[in-house]
Structure 1
Amino acid sequence: MVLRLLFAPITGLAWIAEQIQERADTELDDKENLHKRLLTLQLAFDMGDISEEDFEEQEEELLLAIQALDDEQRRLAAEASDSE
């Protein structure tokens, strides 16, 4: 019991680090998928499968989603550095 209390801060920090790592991994997967969708969209436009208007609309949505993930990543990194 005493050892548990002594190591509680370390255990807590390790848990926080694991949570941040899990979220970062998920966001990287999400970001990679968004980049793949963006490439697919570009190819569809280049092949003439979609109109320029549709391309621009979908491209903007994907770029905003990528930006949101980047912003979240920076926020998490700032929070992690603040808690140290």
Structure 2
Amino acid sequence: MGLISEVLLLPFAPVRGSAWAVRQVLQEAERIYYDPATVRAELSRLEEQLEAGEITEEEFDRQEDELLDRLENASRNSAGTGNGTTP
């Protein structure tokens, strides 16, 4: 049955390959988005923007909260997977 299903699903191979590529891109984007070093660098840039007067205190607080939430999620996810390894 495996051979028959492969033959019948052959026209959908490009779609399956594209879906795999999209999943890989999304996983890498999430890895970068939640990377603690990336979040810390963004926090540093945010503080520089505040000091330079480019953003208001309210905008700083809002963005800082979002970045700290990302950092917390990253810490929680790495602790839940055993320091970055899959269970």
Query: What TM bracket, shorter-length normalisation?
Result: 0.5 to 0.7
TM-score by length of 1: 0.57
Aligned alpha-carbon RMSD (Å): 2.4
In structure 2, the partner of 1:23 is: none
In structure 1, the partner of 2:75 is: 70
- Measure the CA separation in 1 of the matches of 2:76 and 2:54: 32
Unaligned 5+ segments in structure 2 are 1-30
Unaligned 5+ segments in structure 1 are 1-25
TM-score by length of 2: 0.55
Higher helix share: 1
Show structure 1 runs of 4+ deviating over 2 A: none
With CA pairs under 8 Å and 6+ residues apart, which has the higher RCO, 1 or 2? 1
